[in-house]
Amino acid sequence: MLYQRSSALFKEAQNVIPGGVNSPVRAFKAVGGTPIFAKSAQGAYIYDEDGNRFIDYINSWGPMLLGHAFPPVVDAVIKKTKLGTSFGMPTALETEIAELAVAMVPNIDKIRFVNSGTEACMSAIRLARGYTKKDKIIKFAGCYHGHSDSFLIAAGSGAVTFGTPNSPGVTQGTAKDTLLAKYNDIENVKALIKANKNEIAAIIIEPVAGNMGCIPPTEGFLEGLRTICDSNDILLIFDEVMTGFRLANGGVQELKGINADIVCFGKVVGGGLPVGAFAARNDIMNLLAPLGPVYQAGTLSGNPLAMSAGLAMLKAIDQDKGLMNRLEEKTKYLHNGITEALNKNNIPHTINRIGSMISVHFSDQAVVDFESAAKGNNDTFKKFFHGLLNKGIYIAPSAFETWFITDALTYQDLNETIAAVEEVAKSL
């Protein structure tokens, strides 16, 4: 495929945008080469500025659960746009989507809408600290909760030490309150809590990780976290920015039957527009301003265009009782096809899958945490990525990102993808 227009646009963008992109992974630094510039999308396909068509497995990093330009979402946004794009005042629409979200998700009484998943997770941490009157949090290596200072923390010098900043601009003072645990390792979490007794406000986790590839929780891990939190007056925060309304109508809480204290949302909840949210039971949420002392605000929070898109998306999900099964079956079909194609060519690999999330790791070991994910052969992944891209298959430009399946994918699309994998595998 030719990417002449994209190359020219990228060169132009670098003059006025840092790195030429407004989110780092888009720059293709992890895989090399020049990023493609999107021009339009429809259903399961995305079209670039050079006129190339790609079967899309990023789907705007998750929200396009029902395909690009999903007509009910598009229609809702157009209709709402004609009435005004922003008011800075409450609207009935905000209550309508809040009522639907609360009805769909277990164990929440109230929800606060914000503008991004980063903002939702940042606010959830502040709320947890206000509720518990404790300062420290535990997060997990490889889990990404946005670019708020508290989350940009690297490993410390030992298993029970606090972390260190892994981005300039994050202070040591902030880092000292963030403890870094190992995903799927309950004993490591216990050690951190023991070493920081009565100091930890919250444990925040992607209940299914998507930022080190797709990594589901091992059996008993989430249950163990729930027990630990109950025993130590710690709030359990599920970052369901990726998984919320995707793996089940009620997210991982519903899928696994485990209640979190605070849940964060993004992606699907906005129907493709910039929306985040966090939710909890009444006694926690009532601490938020204007009811309580924990301050959080946003001029564009509850924006009518974003709320109309989110409401149309949630209604479609809620009304389609076969959706989650179809998504899971398509993802399983893709999994089996890719496995067969790679096995034919003796390519060492591990595939992780849950619901409509899947990732291919070029490693012959089980991938259960960031450490094991990092052992994958990145050179093989780079060849795999560019091989698929040149055959019209667009996957995440990083070995540490999950793929997202959309219901707009047909089995013909899946077969085309599997055939492309088989061809690419011959050159790996």
Tens of pLDDT, residue by residue over 379-409, are: 999 999 999 999 999 999 999 999 999 999 9
Mean pLDDT is lowest, of 31-35, 53-57, 161-165, 398-402, for 161-165
Residue 37, token pair as written in the block: 């510039």
pLDDT at residue 81, rounded to an integer: 98
**In a 10 Å sphere around its CB, with 0-12 CB exposed, 13-18 middle and 19+ buried, how is residue 305 labelled?**
buried
- Which helix (DSSP H) or strand (DSSP E) does residue 318 occupy? helix 304-319
Average pLDDT over residues 331-347: 97
Domain borders along the chain are 4-67+323-425, 71-319
pLDDT at residue 175, rounded to an integer: 82
pLDDT at residue 155, rounded to an integer: 54
Average pLDDT over residues 274-290: 98
Same fold, 4-67+323-425 and 71-319: no
Tens of pLDDT, residue by residue over 164-195, are: 677 888 888 788 899 999 999 999 999 999 99
pLDDT at residue 152, rounded to an integer: 85
Angle between helices 221-232 and 186-195 (to 10 degrees): 20
- Under 8 Å between Cβ of 112 and 119: no
Report whether pLDDT(156) > 80.
Answer: no
Q: How many CA atoms lie within 13 A of 231 on its CB side?
A: 10
pLDDT at residue 165, rounded to an integer: 75
Of 175, 174, 224, nearest in space to 203 by CA: 224
Q: How many CA atoms lie within 13 A of 374 on its CB side?
A: 5
Q: Supply the CATH classification number for the domain 4-67+323-425.
A: 3.90.1150.10
Share of the chain above pLDDT 70, in %: 97
- The SS3 assignment for 128 reads helix
Report whether pLDDT(161) > 80.
Answer: no
Q: Which residues have C-beta within 8 Å of that of residue 411, sequence separation ≥ 6?
A: 330, 333
- What's the CATH class of domain 71-319? alpha beta
Residue 428, token pair as written in the block: 């790996």
pLDDT at residue 414, rounded to an integer: 98
Report whether pLDDT(253) > 80.
Answer: yes
Tens of pLDDT, residue by residue over 211-240, are: 999 999 999 999 999 999 999 999 999 999
Tens of pLDDT, residue by residue over 353-386, are: 999 999 999 999 999 999 999 999 999 999 999 9
Report whether pLDDT(160) > 70.
Answer: no
Q: What are phi and psi of 162, to 5 degrees?
A: -75, 165
Catalytic residue positions, numbered: 144, 239, 267
Report whether pLDDT(157) > 50.
Answer: no
Residue 349, token pair as written in the block: 């690999």
- Under 8 Å between Cβ of 152 and 24: no
- Distance between CA 325 and CA 328 in Å, rounded? 5
